[in-house]
Structure 1
Amino acid sequence: MTKKSEPTKPEPPKLKTKAAEDCQFDLVSLGEVMIRLDPGETRIRTARQFQVWEGGGEYNVARGLRRCFGMRTGLVSAFADNEIGRLAEDLILQGGVDMSFVKWMPYDGLGRTIRNGLNFTERGFGIRGAVGCPDRGLTAASQLKVGDIDWERLFGKLGVRWFHTGGIYAALSDSTPDVVIEAVECAKKHGTIVSYDLNYRPSLWKGIGGHEKAQEVNRRIAESVDVMIGNEEDFTACLGLEVEGVDENLANIDVEKFKQMIQRAVAEFPNFIATGTTLREVHSASINDWSAIVWHGGEFYESQKFPRLEIMDRVGGGDSFASGLIYGFLTSGEPAKAVNYGAAHGALAMTTPGDTTMVTVDEVEKVMAGGGARVVR
């Protein structure tokens, strides 16, 4: 009697991106951009002057891909049409990000009904952690609604290889989750890869339904996501997937336990083609252990490790990881390369001030190859 053969398990899908020549954009991001006011080495409460940057979790990815990696990127967002909005426009255009799909809304003269967001952020040092104090109520970007953006023209006519958005934008108002869903469903319809950074912020979700609402919204969006990005807190808070053995301070995370959680995530959301996360252990505001892992095609890929990485400004490190990861996938299709582009870019981005990258692809590849910090003359 012949033994019945076991059914072969289907191979997990792998990322397939549209050809560059068929698309106007390599990547487009949907998100809010705020003016960041940075007191430098002092504190917000004692500052007498601030440096001005632009920043926003989703936007930072588009800017990183444009400025560091030279790719064609665009932004979908909205601004109140006043001097602050035009300052943001000037900063964004300096970064080379296309603004054709940015909506300008009439300013009411006072900010009673519509305004632009501000984000006061101090970097922290040593035992004093970084502090953010956002001022973003009633912003134009938070008031975008279904039907405001011509997604069919963007994805169907112009063409986009990769679309990126995230949980910060989804948490801004009652209407933004529906805008995200409208966008990701249209992107999927036209064969665009969709990535989503969970980026859980309790203070944002608190105003629109709290923890339960965060899970309801993010789990629905997750059904249309190809590449899910997030850390252990994000997966737990947004998707209800616990990492065993993690304490309330998120310290001493067992990477193997995290991998088990990712296996549960991809079983529950079989549409995930890849997941990525940064692994950060905070020794102080100025010293972090830093690395990353990616799941793709049924396998895990770990980046090179950056033990005791010296940090100047940690804000935007995860976004720079995402832009490096996306660059690696778009240019090579190889997860092992992608995770190392992401980890190296994130590490370098945290050595400069501001939310966005100030490094070049050559510097990223030098770090990937094991290059040191000797003076370049």
Structure 2
Amino acid sequence: MAKYDFMSFGEAMVRFTPPRHDRLGQAEELQLGIAASELNCCVNISNLSRKMLKPQLKTAYVTKLVDTWDGDYIIKHAQMHAVDMSNVVVEPYDKIGRNGRNGKCFIEVGIGPRPGYQTYDRGHSAVSSIQPGDIDWEKVLDTRWFHSTGIVTAVGEHTATEVLAALRAAKKNGATTSFDLNYRHTLWSMEAAQAAMAELMPYIDVIIGNEEDFETMLGIKADNTDENYSKIDPMCYKRVAEKVMEDYPNVQIVGSSLREVTSACLNNWQCVMMTRNGYFVSRKYMNIEIYDRIGGGDSFASGLIWCLMEGKPEQECIDFATAYSALCHTIRNDWNLVTTEEAYDVMNGGSARVKR
């Protein structure tokens, strides 16, 4: 029996967001949250599995932080959601940040024709300076599922090497592995990303991405898509998933979230999944009214992983993950604070009338 059910490795930052749709330059106050794709999945899976009559799935997060207020903020808030943070490497702070710091993320929530903006201040962060040997992956990854993303892979000189070491150790220890492509053009080029993925892909069982990621990270482009992905036919991604599985026979599941942007406040949302048993498509959620869309893709990944870990039927997996991630668009900050029951209610066509 593994010590943990789910573990992930990534970079965690405190996020700062002006209230409502204010711009950073006019804000007189900022709301705090946590921006961390991989930690988002830990929190979401922990919360989804919280049932009174069933043991909660044990989740754990691996990262490096500096011993300052923001590192403490991240650790304590994750612990509030039952995420084990004992494997986090915490380094002393030199009082000025020259020897390492924790990254920050600044977010403006868009409205109408003005898109949202996400600005990072993550240079010289603790994770970006990680060195081989800082983490004993074979010892740490005592888990039945391990997850990471293209974000942490790109942030530092040795982070791609560490993600590869973690994936290898996870497979050696018998874990299922998943990877969210999560391409960020501010971190690396398409060429560098694809070179890194060529090394990582042989160790990945479940690969997840949005409508753009498979092209930028794996060089596999969907047919009949325009430059802005304004209209997306989910069947175009069937061939993408087939090509992934042809190129990488170890991959058992390909999941993709498909977003059509009407405005910054109105998006259409649909998700697809291919397994060795077929291709599964969710319903399309039309004109979702967005409160905060950051974390929607992580909610899809965590909803899908939770269903797979629970052994749910494939169509239920994609339907639940899509409903769950659609609801994330209605929650401030990255963590999806809706219950399993609420997600199933939306999945099954429940009304948005007030529940009493």
With normalisation by structure 1, the TM-score equals 0.90
Equivalent position of 1:189 in the other structure: 172
Q: How does 1:197-216 map to 2 (within 5 A)?
A: 197-205=180-188, 210-216=189-195
Whole-Å separation in 2 of the counterparts to 1:223 and 1:322: 20
Q: CA offset at residue 333 of structure 1? A: 4.3
Contact kept, 8 Å, 2:64 with 2:130, in 1: the verdict is yes
Pick aligned residue for 2:242 from 263, 267, 278: 263
Contact kept, 8 Å, 1:196 with 1:229, in 2: the verdict is yes
Superposed CA offset, 1:96-132 (max 9, x none): 2110110001212111231001101111112211111
Contact kept, 8 Å, 2:292 with 2:333, in 1: the verdict is yes
Residue 46 of structure 2 corresponds to residue 66 of structure 1: yes
Equivalent position of 1:246 in the other structure: 225
Contact kept, 8 Å, 1:34 with 1:88, in 2: the verdict is yes
Q: CA offset at residue 360 of structure 1? A: 0.8
Whole-Å separation in 2 of the counterparts to 1:53 and 1:107: 22
Equivalent position of 2:214 in the other structure: 235
Superposed CA offset, 1:173-216 (max 9, x none): 110000000000011112101000000000011xxxx2211110
Whole-Å separation in 1 of the counterparts to 2:342 and 2:121: 35
- Percent identity reads 38
Number of residue-to-residue matches in the alignment: 349
Whole-Å separation in 2 of the counterparts to 1:268 and 1:343: 26
Equivalent position of 1:54 in the other structure: 34
Residue 308 of structure 2 corresponds to residue 329 of structure 1: yes
Q: CA offset at residue 149 of structure 1? A: 1.5
Residue 337 of structure 2 corresponds to residue 358 of structure 1: yes
Q: CA offset at residue 231 of structure 1? A: 1.8
Residue 73 of structure 2 corresponds to residue 90 of structure 1: no
Whole-Å separation in 1 of the counterparts to 2:347 and 2:49: 15
Whole-Å separation in 1 of the counterparts to 2:131 and 2:251: 27
Equivalent position of 2:53 in the other structure: none
Q: How does 1:306-321 map to 2 (within 5 A)?
A: 306-321=285-300
Q: Secondary structure at the match of 2:324?
A: helix
Q: How does 1:340-351 map to 2 (within 5 A)?
A: 340-351=319-330
Whole-Å separation in 1 of the counterparts to 2:273 and 2:143: 23
Contact kept, 8 Å, 1:53 with 1:91, in 2: the verdict is no
Superposed CA offset, 1:2-23 (max 9, x none): xxxxxxxxxxxxxxxxxxxx12
Whole-Å separation in 2 of the counterparts to 1:245 and 1:370: 30
Pick aligned residue for 2:151 from 168, 171, 175: 168
Q: CA offset at residue 169 of structure 1? A: 0.5
Which range is displaced more, 239-248 or 306-315? 239-248
Whole-Å separation in 1 of the counterparts to 2:131 and 2:245: 30
Contact kept, 8 Å, 1:198 with 1:229, in 2: the verdict is yes
Equivalent position of 1:18 in the other structure: none
Equivalent position of 2:270 in the other structure: 291
| Matched residue type, 1:240 | G
Whole-Å separation in 2 of the counterparts to 1:334 and 1:220: 31
Contact kept, 8 Å, 1:167 with 1:199, in 2: the verdict is yes
| Matched residue type, 1:172 | V
Q: Secondary structure at the match of 2:134?
A: coil
Whole-Å separation in 1 of the counterparts to 2:228 and 2:258: 14
Residue 134 of structure 2 corresponds to residue 134 of structure 1: no
Contact kept, 8 Å, 1:325 with 1:340, in 2: the verdict is no
Q: CA offset at residue 334 of structure 1? A: 2.2
Whole-Å separation in 2 of the counterparts to 1:297 and 1:203: 35
| Matched residue type, 1:77 | T
Contact kept, 8 Å, 1:219 with 1:238, in 2: the verdict is no
Which range is displaced more, 245-254 or 193-202? 245-254
Equivalent position of 1:102 in the other structure: 88
| Matched residue type, 2:143 | V
Q: CA offset at residue 339 of structure 1? A: 0.9
Superposed CA offset, 1:22-69 (max 9, x none): 122111010011001011211111111111111211111111111233
Equivalent position of 2:110 in the other structure: 124
Q: How does 1:211-226 map to 2 (within 5 A)?
A: 211-226=190-205
Equivalent position of 1:7 in the other structure: none
Pick aligned residue for 1:33 from 8, 12, 15: 12
Whole-Å separation in 2 of the counterparts to 1:309 and 1:212: 34
| Matched residue type, 1:25 | Y
Contact kept, 8 Å, 1:341 with 1:364, in 2: the verdict is yes
Q: Runs of 4 or more off by more than 6 Å in structure 1? A: none
With normalisation by structure 2, the TM-score equals 0.95
In structure 2, the gaps of 5 or more residues are 51-56
Q: CA offset at residue 353 of structure 1? A: 0.5
| Matched residue type, 1:126 | G
Whole-Å separation in 2 of the counterparts to 1:256 and 1:359: 29
